[in-house]
Chains A and B, each alone.
Chain A
Amino acid sequence: MVLNKEHLGIRSLYWIVMTGILGLVAYAAYTLFFPLVLGFLFAFLTDPVVDFLERRGWSRHSGSMLLFGVLLAGLVSLVAVLVPMLQKQAHDVTLHEQEYVTIVEARVSQIRATALKYFSPAMVAETEAEIRTTAIHKIQALQNSVPKILAAVAHALGIAIFVPIIGFFFLVEGAEIKKWVISLLPNRYFEMTLMLLNRVNSQLGGYMRGQALDCMINGFLYGLGMTLLGVKGGAVIGVFAGLMNAVPYVGPLIGAIPGMFSLMMDPSATMPWWSVGVLFLTVHMIDNVAIYPMTVGKSLDLPPFVVILGILFGGSVAGIPGMFLTVPLLGMAKQTFIVFYSSLKSYRII
C-alpha cells in the first residue's frame, strides 16, 4: 500500500499521541490498580440493580445515578448514626477505664491461679514476664507505627473516593468498553471470545453475587444471634463475621473470636463465652445445608485441600485480603478454564 504524505503525517501524529497516552495509562494503572479492581468489582456486583432499573424504563445513566444516590444517602445516614455512637463508646471507655483494668487484672489472676494448679510457680512467672515483655514491645511498635497507619488510612480514603467514580464509569460504559476490546481481536477469535466473555460473566456474576448474598444473610444471623446472647456491639461483630464467612473453613472460626472475647470481658454478661461458639456452629450448619446451596450453589466447587492451600498461599502473599480473594480467584480460574476449553472445542480451534 502506498501512503501519501498527509496519511503519513496523521499516522506519525497518532503514534506520538498513542505513546504519550500509553505512558500516562501505565503510570495511572500503577497508582490506580486497586481502585480499578475494586471499582470493577463494585460495578460487577451492582450491575443487576441497574439492569433491573433499565428493564423498568430507566436509562443506564439515570439508573446508575439513582443507585449511587441511594448508596450515598445510606452511607451518610450510617456515618450520622455511627459517629455519635463511636463518640459515646469512646467516652464510656474513658469513664470506665479503671473498671476495665480491674476486670482484666481479675481475669489474669484467675488464669494465673488455674495455671499454678498445673505448672510450677517459676514457669508461670517466666511465661507471665515473657507475655508482658511481648505485649509492651507490641504496644511500642504500634505507637511507633502511628504515622504509617495514618498514611495508610489517608491512602485508603483516597481509594474510597476513586472506587465509586471508577465503579460508576464501569457501570455506565461497561458494555461499550467490552465491545471496544472485542473489536481489537482478530476475526477468527472474536465470536468465540464474545461467547466466552458472556458465559464467564454470567457464571462468575452469579457466583460473586451469590457469595455476597450469602455473606449478608450470615452476617444478619450472626448479628441477630449475638445481640440475643447479649454481646455488646453484636450487630457490628455480626457484619465482620458475615464478611469473614467468604473465607471457607477458617473464616467462621476467625469471625467468632471477637464475639467470644467481647462476652469474656463483659462483667454484666449472662451467657458464657462459649455460647458464641455454639451460635457460630449452628449458623454455619444452617449455611451449609440451606443458605449456601440456594445462594451460591455448587458451580464453583473446589476440592477442600485446594481451598486450604489457596487460603494459606493467599494469606502469605497478601495477608487477610489475600485470604479473602484466593477462593473466588481460584473459582474464577477454574470456571474460566472450563468455559475456555469447551469454547475452543466447539469452535474447532483445538
Chain B
Amino acid sequence: MNKMFHALWSTLFIGDEKRRSLHEILKQIPVFQDLTAFELKFVVPILHQREFQKDELIFREGEAGNGMYIVQSGRVEILGRSASGADVLYATLFDRQFFGELSLVDGQPRSASAICSEQSTLYGFFKPDLLELIDKHPSIGTKVLFNLTTVLGNRLRDSNVKLMEFQGQLVTLRGSNGAQ
C-alpha cells in the first residue's frame, strides 16, 4: 500500500521538476550523454524508477538479465563469487553511475549480483524498451546503441589492458620462480 501511495503521489505531484533532474542525470550517463533535451523526452518515459532498501538485492548472479540500472542516489555493491564460493566485491557504485549494461545486448544471465548497501533510488532501462526505441525513433535508438557499444568497447579495452598486465606479471613470476 505504501508503494501505491508513493506511485500515486509521485504521479500527481512530481512532474516537470523530476523530469528536469532526470534529464540532468541522464546527461551524465555515457549511454545517453549526447542526446538532446528533445530526444531525452522519448527516453524518460521508458525508464522505471525503483526504490531499494539497505541490503536489498537488485539481481542475483546467474539470473536472467534484461537491462541496466542507473544509480540516482544511494550506493550499490556489485558482487561475484570466488572459486571457493565466497563473495568478492567487484565494485561499489554511487550517484550517476550505472551497471548491468551488458544485459541490454547479450541476453545472457547476469554475470554478478547487485545489492544496495544503503537506501537507494535507481532507474531501470530494459531491452524491450530499447528495441521499441530503435523501432519507433531509429535516430535516437541508434545514438543510444552506438553509445552503449562505445561503453562496452571501452570496458573490453580496459579488460584487455588488465589481462595484459596480469599476463606480464605471470611471466615475471614464472621467470623469477625458474631462476630460483
Chain A residues with a Cβ under 8 A of chain B: 11, 14, 51, 54-55, 175-176, 179-180, 182-188, 190-192, 194-195, 198, 343, 346-348
Contacts and interface: CB of A to CB of B under 8 A. Distances in A.
B136 interface: yes
Contacts of A182: 48
Nearest to A14: B5
| A-B CB proximity, top 5 nearest | A346-B64, A198-B128, A183-B7, A54-B136, A347-B63
Contacts of B7: 180, 183-184
Nearest to A52: B136
Classify the interface of chain B: helix, strand, loop or mixed.
Answer: mixed
Contacts of B48: 179, 182-183, 190, 194
Contact of A175 (B45, B51, B62): B45
Interface stretch (B22-30, B53-61, B86-94): B53-61
Contacts of B9: 14
Interface residues of B, number: 29
Contact of A184 (B3, B58, B64, B138): B3
Contact of A188 (B51, B57, B128, B136): B57
Contacts of A187: 50-52, 56, 58
Contacts of A198: 128
A51 B128 contact: no
B16 to A, nearest CB: 16
Contacts, number: 58
Interface string B48-80: 111110001111101110110000000000000
A192 B7 CA distance: 19
Given A54-B136, A179-B45, A183-B3, A195 B52 contact: no
B83 interface: no
Contacts of B5: 11, 14
B135 interface: yes
Given A191-B67, A343-B64, A346-B64, 8 more contacts: A14-B5, A180-B11, A186-B3, A187-B50, A187-B51, A192-B64, A195-B126, A348-B62
Q: Which of B3, B57, B136 has the most CB atoms of chain A within a 10 A radius of its CB?
A: B136
A183 B49 contact: yes
Nearest to B49: A183
Given A51-B136, A180-B7, A183-B7, A195 B45 contact: no
Q: Which of A55, A176, A183 has the most CB atoms of chain B within a 10 A radius of its CB?
A: A183
Contacts of A188: 57
A190 B60 contact: no
B49 to A, nearest CB: 7
B64 A55 contact: no
B4 interface: yes
A224 B89 CA distance: 70
Interface in B91-140: 109, 124, 126, 128, 135-136, 138
Contacts of B64: 192, 195, 343, 346-347
B136 A191 contact: no
A19 to B, nearest CB: 12
Contacts of A192: 64
A348 B63 contact: yes
Contacts of A55: 135-136, 138
Contacts of A184: 3-4, 7
A191 B45 contact: no
Nearest to A197: B128
Contacts of B66: 191, 194-195
